[in-house]
Amino acid sequence: MASSVEQIKERLNIEEVVGSYIKLERAGNSLKARCPFHNEKTPSFFVSPDRGSYYCFGCGAKGDIFTFVQEFEGVDFIGALKILADKAGVTLEKFSSPETSKKERLYTLMESATLFLQKNLEGEEIPLGYLLKRGLTKETIKNWKIGYVRDEWRSISDYLKSKGFSDEEIERAGISKTEGKNTYDRFRGRIMFPIFDSAGRAIAFSGRILHDDGQSAKYLNSPQTELFDKSKILYGFDRAKQSIRKFDFSILVEGQMDLLMSHQAGFTNTVASSGTALTKEHLSLLKRISNKVIMSFDSDNAGAKAAERSWALALSCGMDVKIAEIPNGFDPADLILKNKEEFKTVLKNSIFLIDFLLNRATSQITDKKKLWSEIKTNILPYIFLLDSNTERSRYVKKISEILNIKEDFIWDDLKKVKLDEELNPEIKNQEDGEIERQINQDVLKKGSIERSIASVIAKKHSSKKDPQNIKDKIQKILGDEIYQKFENELKEKIDELSFEAEAYYGNLSEDNFDKEIEYLILNLREEHFKKELEKLLTELKLAEKEKQAEIISSISIRLKEIMQKLSEIKNEKHNFYKK
Ligand SMILES: [Zn+2]
């Protein structure tokens, strides 16, 4: 496969591939555009033809032609490979193997079954009437390829056989099953909702029973097949992904009807778990496009435990989770049918998960002691799962205000939180769930002087110039320990840093570029002394309070030195561009 990838890369340049999807403008050595992966007004998406890669300063999207097509088309690597091979006129020999053509046949089989079921629905008054009564329009029914299967033992299988598919293929696609000597269709007398993969191909069905006999499941899903991995497929994702990108959040609902009604009403960034338990894979699918998710929650829902599990799972994936509480036992589909504006309001009023939990607890429990016990058991685990300590501190503070207890007391219990294994292996592996209270900050934070200097070094590297003298100066200012971190992050982020340098300094002549570097280093030194100054002043206050004369005098000496240095730097900066 490597050779096909190489061939494709040789024949296609990134400018032409990306340019076929979005409009690129020239910007120095690079090209720029409004980022297709997040919503923005001014372009921060850069493409470098020299390096064959792209980078977005807004959302951090980066990669080569393969990742671009994967992200843009929402396909996996193989999918992108096929699209690009087509463009490049490269034949993928590996992909005409018997294995793949077997799989290709299953896709065709599913497509054929979907068309058959769609045709079946036409003129069937009862199932059609049911769908219309639930609020779906004829257009939605057609768009989502909803179908129907009569209550017969083998109607789908018989049709597929007449189209040349074998019994074995029909069973492998999850259409039929064998019990003893009998093979028959899994789906009988059901309204059929095709489930699509991210490229929009039908790969499974979810069937809703038409006449409830009290014995059969209301909804029946296809089993796991070669095409359908239920832990990785979200219903509606293929159509929602563009909107999720555009609005920068997704809405997660439970059932098919909820999803269809949401899309029909214009909430096109909605996806559904559709009867399967939410998994980390589902969430990472969403997270790739937007980190923000609103989860709808029916307050009278008997399945509240399952909902709470998904909340925790989303937090443990580092997602930004809001809860939209749907009133009075409605589900999203019913509420939209009643009045879509009300659903809009529910979404607008959605609040961050932990605020939601705290509000709920404080409105239900007035006794402070009981409230603390509730928070300790049912809310601290969620706080524990938060991504940063800044976030955790915010809630620790809030709880301490609600209960009027010391923050330290809450931190102690927060450290003792034990989690289910599936939730967060990374945190679980820390001894006794110890939380690192110090925020582990990056040296190369966005907008920092360190980062600007690192990008300059990256640019030197890419134009084959030796940046060693700059590195030496930086090391002297930062000190060995932080310099080590600087070096590591530089290596890790060399690609995006090169892009930054090009975007900021691309037009500078060699001389001016070197001058710019000197100026940056000067700024770094200034910042460094200012930080030390701040630290010393705090120490001085403390020493004065405790009347420690010796310390006061030594701090004062150092302070004087720093003031001197700062004044020198100020002068140097003032005269810098006059030289
Ligand atoms: Zn972007």
Task: Give tens-digit pLDDT for 242-251.
Answer: 888 788 899 9
Between β-strands 351-352 and 270-272, what pairing exists: parallel, antiparallel or unpaired?
A: unpaired
Rounded distance from Cα 38 to ligand 1 centre (Å): 5
Q: What pTM value is reported for the model?
A: 0.64
Per residue in 72-121, pLDDT (tens digit) is: 877 778 888 888 988 888 887 655 556 667 888 999 999 999 999 999 99
CA of 53 to the centre of ligand 1 (A): 14
Return the higher-pLDDT residue of 98 and 403: 403
Distance 434 CA to ligand 1 centre (A): 35
Cα–Cα dist 439/437, whole Å? 6
List C-alpha distances in Å: 516 to 396, 478, 496, 522. Answer: 44, 19, 20, 10
pLDDT band at 258 (very low <50, low <70, confident <90, very high): very high
Tokens at residue 169, please? 């293929």
Structure-model confidence comparison of residues 411 and 97, the more confident one: 411
Average pLDDT, the chain: 86
Segment holding 33, helix H or strand E: strand 30-33
Burial of 446 (0-12, 13-18, 19+ CB in 10 A): exposed
Summarize pLDDT for 43-78 with one digit per residue, the tens: 889 999 888 899 988 788 889 999 999 888 777 788
Work out the burial of residue 159: count CB atoms within 10 Å of its CB; fewer than 13 is exposed, 13-18 middle, 19 or more buried: buried
- How far apart CA 251 and CA 341 sit, in angstroms, is 16
CB atoms within 10 A of CB 225: 17
pLDDT of residue 84: 92
* Per-residue pLDDT at 154 exceeds 90: yes
Question: What is the CA(292)–ligand 1 centre distance, in A?
Answer: 15
As a whole number, mean pLDDT of residues 277-295 equals: 87
Assess whether pLDDT exceeds 60 at residue 162: yes
Question: Ligand 1: distance of its center to the CA of 564 in Å?
Answer: 44
Side chain identity, residue 405: I
Cα-to-centroid distance, 57 and ligand 1 (Å): 6
Rounded alpha-carbon distances, angstroms, from residue 524 to 451, 453, 478, 518, 564: 10, 9, 9, 10, 16
Q: Is 199 exposed, middle or buried (0-12, 13-18, 19+ CB in 10 A)?
A: middle
C-alpha 16 – ligand 1 centre gap (Å): 19
Calculate mean pLDDT across residues 154-163: 96
Neighbours of ion ligand 1 (CB under 5 A): 35, 37-38, 56, 58-59, 61
Distance 494 CA to ligand 1 centre (A): 18
How large is the average pLDDT for residues 559-579? Answer: 84
Residue 87 gets which letter from DSSP? H
CA–centroid distance, 244 to ligand 1, in Å, is: 13
Going from the Cα of 517 to the center of ligand 1, the distance in angstroms, rounded, reads 28
383 Cα: distance to centroid of ligand 1 (angstroms):
29
How far is ligand 1, taken at its centre, from the CA of residue 252, in Å? 23
Q: Give the tens place of pLDDT for each residue, 198-227.
A: 778 899 999 999 998 888 888 999 999 999
What digits encode the pLDDT tens for the residues 163-196? Answer: 999 999 999 999 999 998 899 999 999 999 999 9
C-alpha span between 402 and 357 (Å, rounded): 13
550-557 average pLDDT score: 89
